[in-house]
Amino acid sequence: MLHAHTPRILKDTLQGSTLTITDITADAAHLEAFDHHEHVWHGRDEARELNAIVAIHNTALGPALGGTRMWPHESFEAALTDVLRLSRGMTYKAAVAGMHFGGGKAVIIGDAKKEKTPALLEAYAEMLAALSGQYYTAEDVGFTLADADFLRARTDNVTGTTLGGSGNPSSVTAHGVFLGLKAALRHRGVNALEGVTIAVQGLGSVGWTLCEKLYAEGAKLFVTDIDTARVEEACRSFHATSVAPGEILSAPADVFAPCALGGVLSAETIPSLHAGIVAGAANNQLARHEDARLLMERGILYAPDYVINAGGLLNVAAELSPGGYDRAATMEEVARIPETLTGIFQRAEADRRPTNDVAAEIADERIAAARTT
Ligand SMILES: NC(=O)c1ccc[n+]([C@@H]2O[C@H](COP(=O)([O-])OP(=O)(O)OC[C@H]3O[C@@H](n4cnc5c(N)ncnc54)[C@H](O)[C@@H]3O)[C@@H](O)[C@H]2O)c1
């Protein structure tokens, strides 16, 4: 039951506004996804139709950084679970990538195509400004470069903008996933993409660019999306084979690249997975952390999502560095994703443990070290 506790409202920062920001940390604590979040804030503005949650998981390594997702969650609790899982993932992503940022994430509940208005974004900019210093945001599903620029013109706590120079991080994320996917293949003794079959789920900003790169190096693609026009275009552009959304896991591919939403790998779906490697961009690919063991037991190599998809985070974080955004330096950091993944694959194999256990251990070690210094 949410709102069972007396809420703490940030009144002082919101004079003259219709926005209310409530501390719902204690209310969220009963959820399995909570995992010691430092703060969870609920922003509500009925006049401007904003219903947003900002989750700040851990700031031991630095201020929380993570994108804003706009999605029509079926309930407030579903949105809360989503943002908590995403926020925790950002802590781990930043830590494994060796960054001086913590984990946070935001969701705006609503249909980005129909309900995202300038008034809603104004209210959200006020919310970010009120949380100043705790949380920096950027793009995510349903939240575009234009939205980030809109916010950046009103508050400093936004990155991944044209104004700061790094722009939309999706192409950098896709590049990191591409390099990581090839590292997973190399780990399995496959040194070229020519003739390798890859099932790509989701042909959005990241999935599409990933397809371009894979196709350019000779991979054969199976593609799916709930947007059929996108699928048709991919079939034309990449000579890809179209697969129904519900059948992408069982497509006869060597690699499964999830690039849509999270939770696609679960105890129910893993038995039907055909591929021997999972390497894709989506956040929270596993329904539960423990599901990675099911992949391991089936001999499937899993590239932990927050390790392989760290390119976008590295790119937006660079905008906040003291010297400003430096693309060449960022791409050098992204080029280290394969090395990080290979280290995780080797340690997991040597210890007979799931790859995501090893990745989490690396993150936990870095966070613990930061706490003691
Ligand atoms: N954009 C980035 O830089 C970045 C960085 C890290 C992680 N990610 C993650 O990667 C994933 C993709 O991000 P994006 O920026 O490309 O998002 P996007 O919104 O541009 O694309 C997502 C695509 O998935 C499709 N989709 C949704 N549900 C589907 C389903 N059930 N089956 C098939 N397709 C479906 C959508 O129609 C859309 O085309 C997300 O999980 C995101 O959190 C993105």
Q: Where are the beta strands (DSSP E) in 244-289?
A: 255-258, 277-278
Answer yes or no: is the C-beta of 159 below 6 A from any ligand 1 atom: no
Measured in degrees and rounded to the nearest 5, phi and psi for residue 323 equal -85, 0
- For residue 209, the model assigns a pLDDT of 98
Dig out the tokens for 65 from the structure.
């950084």
Dig out the tokens for 310 from the structure.
């760290």
- Whether 10 has a pLDDT exceeding 80, the answer reads no
- For residue 91, the model assigns a pLDDT of 97
135-165: pLDDT as tens digits: 999 999 899 999 999 999 999 999 999 998 8
Three-class DSSP category at 190: coil
- For residue 165, the model assigns a pLDDT of 87
Q: How confident is the model at residue 9 (pLDDT cuts 50, 70, 90)?
A: low
- For residue 280, the model assigns a pLDDT of 98
Mean pLDDT of the chain: 94
Lowest mean pLDDT segment, chosen from 8-12, 43-47, 244-248, 359-363: 8-12
258-283: pLDDT as tens digits: 999 889 999 999 999 999 999 999 99
Residues 165-182: what's their mean pLDDT?
95
- For residue 15, the model assigns a pLDDT of 61
Identify whether the C-beta of residue 295 lies closer than 8 Å to the C-beta of residue 302: yes
For the annotated binding site for NAD(+), the residues are 202-207
Dig out the tokens for 300 from the structure.
């499937």
Which atom of ligand 1 has the smallest separation from the CA of 142?
A: 19
* Fold of the domain built from segment(s) 8-90+101-152: Rossmann fold (3.40.50)
- Whether 3 has a pLDDT exceeding 50, the answer reads no
Q: Which one, of 170, 163, 176, 16, lies nearest residue 96 by Cα? A: 176
Distance CA(23)–CA(56), nearest Å, equals 11
Q: Name the residue at shortest CA distance from atom 27 of ligand 1.
A: 260
- Whether 11 has a pLDDT exceeding 60, the answer reads no
Domains 8-90+101-152 and 170-310+338-365 share a fold: yes
- For residue 4, the model assigns a pLDDT of 38
- Whether 2 has a pLDDT exceeding 50, the answer reads no
Which atom of ligand 1 has the smallest separation from the CA of 139?
A: 1
Provide the 8-state DSSP code for 188.
Answer: T
Q: Name the residue at shortest CA distance from atom 20 of ligand 1.
A: 204
Torsion angle of the four alpha carbons 133, 135, 137, 142, in this order, in degrees rounded to the nearest 10: -150
Residue located via tokens 């790859």: 355
Count Cβ atoms within 10 A of the Cβ of residue 268 and give its class: 0-12 exposed, 13-18 middle, 19 or more buried: exposed
- For residue 6, the model assigns a pLDDT of 43
Q: CB-based contacts of 335: which residues, under 8 Å, 6+ apart?
A: 179
Residues 47-72: what's their mean pLDDT?
96
Q: Could you list the active site residues? A: 105
Answer yes or no: is the C-beta of 305 below 6 A from any ligand 1 atom: no
Q: Name the residue at shortest CA distance from atom 42 of ligand 1.
A: 282
- For residue 334, the model assigns a pLDDT of 97
How high is the ipTM of this complex? 0.99
Annotated domain spans of the chain: 8-90+101-152, 170-310+338-365
Dig out the tokens for 16 from the structure.
């003259």
- Whether 373 has a pLDDT exceeding 80, the answer reads no
325-339: pLDDT as tens digits: 999 999 999 999 999
- Whether 5 has a pLDDT exceeding 50, the answer reads no
Measured in degrees and rounded to the nearest 5, phi and psi for residue 84 equal -65, -45
Q: Which one, of 219, 225, 220, 191, lies nearest residue 206 by Cα? A: 225
Distance CA(302)–CA(279), nearest Å, equals 7
Residue located via tokens 């392989």: 308
Domain covering 170-310+338-365 assigned CATH 3.30.565.10 in the classification: no
- Whether 244 has a pLDDT exceeding 60, the answer reads yes
Question: Percent of the chain scored above 70 by pLDDT?
Answer: 95
